[in-house]
Homo-oligomer: A and B are copies of this chain.
Amino acid sequence: MLYDGCVPRKGTRKTVAKAADIRTVAALAKVSIATVSRTINGSPAVSDRLSKRVWQAIEQLKYFPNTHARSLVSGRSRLFGIIVENITNPFFPELIQSFEEVAVAHGYEILVSSSNSDPAILTTCVRRMLERKVEGVAMLTFGEEEPVLDQLAVHDIPLVLAEFKLADPKTSTILLDYTTGLKAAVDHLAGLGHRKIGFLAGPHTIHSAITRLNDFRTAMEAAKLPIEKAWVIESDHTMRGGVAGFERLQSFEKGPTAVICSNDITAIGVLRAAYMAGLRVPQDLSVVGLDDIDFAEFTLPPLTTIRLSRADLARAAFEALRQQAETAPGGKLQREFLVSTNLVVRGSTAPPAGAHS
């Protein structure tokens, strides 16, 4: 069964024939290179007769255009950059995946980089993207973008950011509507009978973390639930942070009966810490995440969480960039996009211990 051998590679080239170029095609089709170029680019000004000959030659030679030459002369690279905070966070691969899908569908290629929250890395990322002449970059780093804003502005590159508006007309913004999801989560918990709800926030350096926290507060107020300051803890959007946050929460004599986490991996850290501490979720503690990463469905118990669609976010980011890249200077374009959230109830929430309903 195991293929362990060494197979000859098929399609062995006898002569190391240089890849066909536009001239080869033109010669074979007996037309000028201009006609080949026009044919490839779908110019209507080519007769069917020649067009057919050209396509035939292209097929026969397995020709395809050299992107570098194309970009050089046309000034358009059809390349977008996408920078994420950390590709290792499961939130981002899904985002990248969707972004790539829609980009490829529109004939764009993407350059991916993670900043790993390091401004130096971020700077070289941007630099590399600039060298490759990207037509736009999506900075989905949620709050680490400042250091390179100048760099990009100087080169007049379209930019799309999440939750951060810039005056520069070359920038677009994606607003995330956490309000709806967070309100649903608080209401869900309140409906279950919880009144003591904690919040494990993300780093205050990250815009989205701040927005999430604010929206949590708003939702609590709307539900007329008290916000206990000590239970609102700044964590760091990592599993370890979730563990630490849980321990902090446990240190209170009468701590919260439910906790909402600023993201799913924090919630997973809480789940783990609770398990290690012998606490049962959801009987002893209800836990809510935010993001709904693929994994959320497979935690123990399955995580109740606020879903933020990566696909929607990716589509919005691409669309923003595409409009920037393809809209004629002075043309009007949409510079603000909204992506919404919604609650997904699974197994990590239940009435608090001793609830009467």
Known: A69-B72, A131-B65, A300-B271. A12 touches B88 (CB 8 A): no
Interface pair A9/B72, CB less than 8 Å apart:
no
12 contacts between A and B (CB under 8 A): A3-B164, A9-B166, A11-B150, A11-B153, A12-B168, A67-B132, A68-B77, A72-B72, A88-B97, A92-B93, A239-B298, A272-B300
Partner pick for A298 among B100, B132, B272, B301, CB 8 A cutoff:
B272
Interface size class of A (residues with CB under 8 A): 35 or more
Cβ-closest chain B residue relative to A5: B165
Residues on the B chain within 8 Å of A38, using CB: none
A248 in the interface (beta carbon within 8 A): no
Please pick, from B6, B9, B210, the residue contacting A2 in the complex, using a CB distance under 8 A.
B210
Closest Cβ of chain B to A54, distance in Å, is 18
A132–B16 Cα distance when bound, in Å, is 20
Tell me if A2 and B211 are in contact (CB < 8 A).
yes
A227 CB within 8 Å of chain B: no
A204 within 8 A of B: yes
* CB-based contact B211/A166 at 8 Å: no
* Residues from chain B with Cβ under 8 Å of A188 in the complex: none
Q: Mark A181-218, 1 if CB is under 8 A from B, else 0.
A: 00000000000000000000000100100110010000
B300 contacts A68, CB within 8 Å? no
This chain's copy number in the assembly: 2
A345 to B26, CA, bound (A): 64
Asked whether, in the complex, the Cβ of B295 is within 8 Å of the Cβ of A295, the reply is yes
Q: Apart from A100-B112, A112-B112, A295-B295, what 17 extra A-B contacts exist at CB < 8 Å?
A: A4-B165, A7-B167, A8-B168, A9-B153, A9-B171, A10-B150, A12-B153, A19-B155, A64-B130, A68-B72, A69-B72, A90-B93, A104-B124, A109-B111, A239-B298, A269-B298, A272-B298
The contact string, 1 if C-beta is below 8 Å from chain B, for chain A 150-187, is 11011110000000111110110000000000000000
B-side contacts of A90, CB under 8 Å: 88, 90, 93
Which of chain B's residues have a CB closer than 8 A to the CB of A93?
87-88, 90, 92-93
Supposing A9-B168, A112-B112, A166-B6 touch, asked if A16 and B67 sit within 8 A by C-beta, the answer is no
Q: B272 to A62, Cβ gap below 8 A?
A: no
Bound-state CA distance A113–B145 (Å) is 25
A294 CB contacts on chain B under 8 angstroms: 88
CB distance from A183 to the nearest CB of B (A): 17
**Complex-state Cα separation, A346 to B271, whole angstroms:** 17
**Complexed CA–CA distance, A114 and B156 (Å):** 31
Residue of B nearest to A62 (CB): B154
Q: Which of B65, B113, B150 contacts A100 (CB 8 A)?
A: B113
Tell me if A275 and B298 are in contact (CB < 8 A).
no
- Indicate whether A8 sits within 8 Å of B104 (C-beta atoms), given known contacts A90-B90, A211-B2: no
Q: Which residue of B lies closest to A16 (CB)?
A: B156
Docked Cα-Cα span, A71 to B77, in Å, equals: 13
Q: Is the CB of B71 within 8 A of A68?
A: yes
In Å, the complex CA distance between A16 and B67 comes to 26
Instruction: Decide yes or no whether A328 CB sits under 8 A from chain B.
Output: no
Given the complex, which residues of B lie within 8 Å of A210, measured CB to CB?
Answer: 1-3
Cβ distance A62 to chain B, nearest Cβ, rounded Å: 6
How far does the alpha carbon of A351 sit from the alpha carbon of B131 in the complex, in Å?
58
